Structure 1
């Protein structure tokens, strides 16, 4: 039976190159450590899903680092270009590898559950697009049962309009879609506070991120230390 693939959009964790808005509040080292934890938790969720994992990584010169990070996983270097062009290339890499159903996800939603990935792939297997919206007007998961490169064109990335514009592209292509439960990605200190609270209350499970939060100065989060 043709396989399912979840593609993780990932950056090599380097100070000053990842989670810059968090870095402005927490410092670049802390932001980098957090992003690396986000990435590990994301890969753990993918490993628990009923799908093969592919990492679409950047910079393209970091293949060896990602091969060491995720031995045995499929790798695809992100091309230069807009985020839409890189998303389209990641999707195409998975479909080009022979997978019949593909979900692409971000690496800054460490609390994303494997069940959500599976649900999106199940929907896509029926010929319907699946989207997991985020609270900032974007989305953290898009699953498709066939390549649809037009879905990534003319999108105002990082504007808060990505979800609405993508839905319009889906409608323009006469493709049905279903929405998964809304969540949030981690871009700002407010997002991190929300995640820390969800971990403390048992609503989110992301072990590496929780461990990293324990090691950081949590006074900025205005929360009790994560148990």
Structure 2
């Protein structure tokens, strides 16, 4: 069991380049593509700030190759100072996440967490707590109130947690917890937060 809080940690960020028509398509259906792009830029800036504050080595994994930054040696404008890679052309989100986790563990990390860029309530405190919990737990999950999760942390590869899931549905969190239980993995939960995926989500965020 890892109990050293200084064990190498790594944060994985699944993101998209902020390009009109390629981000927040569900949100764009309700408020238009231009407005959705602005919201996405706001969410990116919020997430980047939280990541910078936690001061943990991090890698940005883009859903598609960027159009504005030609070489991986150049930092992305939204993520200054962070290395980036392109997610593999896998059929499922789970396969892409499993690949990113495997790469981080292969590079020597002992505590790895993954986040997206849809959660305006995410703070550096959530990230710090996730890595602290990974010193005594096998799995850390940050539940989203839509039934998914905004963060998943592991201290060793767990391929089963990424298999047989209906991604982007309200069963993802429950199915992941069930798999973790079947694998006898010690699991911890962070506070439940709210994702912004639709116009209704956006309205709720603005009111809150």
Question: Normalized against structure 1, the TM-score is what?
Answer: 0.81
Match of 1:143 among 145, 153, 178: 153
Per-residue CA deviation, residues 80-105 of structure 1 (Å, 9 max, x unaligned), is 12110111112122222211111101
Q: Any conservation in 2 of the 1:18–1:31 contact (CA below 8 Å)? A: yes
Distance in 1, Cα, partners of 2:82 & 2:8: 15
1:176 equivalent to 2:186? Answer yes
Q: Which residue of 1 aligns with 2:203?
A: 193
Identify the structure with the greater helix proportion: 1
Q: Any conservation in 1 of the 2:120–2:194 contact (CA below 8 Å)? A: no
Distance in 2, Cα, partners of 1:94 & 1:62: 25
Match of 1:156 among 166, 172, 179: 166
Cα gap change, 1:68/1:75 in structure 2, threshold over 3 Å: closer, same or farther?
A: closer
Where do 1:1-227 residues align within 5 Å?
Answer: 1-62=6-67, 64=69, 67-69=75-77, 70-81=79-90, 82-198=92-208
Q: Which residue of 2 aligns with 1:216?
A: none
Cα gap change, 1:63/1:153 in structure 2, threshold over 3 Å: closer, same or farther?
A: farther
In structure 2, stretches of 5+ residues that fail to align are 1-5
Per-residue CA deviation, residues 166-211 of structure 1 (Å, 9 max, x unaligned), is 111111221010111101100111211121123xxxxxxxxxxxxx
Q: Which residue of 1 aligns with 2:3?
A: none
Q: Any conservation in 2 of the 1:57–1:75 contact (CA below 8 Å)? A: yes
Q: SS where residue 75 of structure 2 aligns?
A: helix
Distance in 2, Cα, partners of 1:132 & 1:2: 21
Q: SS where residue 23 of structure 2 aligns?
A: coil
Q: Tell me by how many angstroms 1:155 deviates.
A: 0.6
Distance in 2, Cα, partners of 1:176 & 1:168: 12
Moved over 4 A (4+): none
Question: Normalized against structure 2, the TM-score is what?
Answer: 0.88
Q: Any conservation in 2 of the 1:60–1:79 contact (CA below 8 Å)? A: no
Q: Tell me by how many angstroms 1:50 deviates.
A: 4.2
- The structure whose RCO (Cα within 8 Å, separation 6+) is larger is 2
Q: Any conservation in 1 of the 2:76–2:82 contact (CA below 8 Å)? A: no
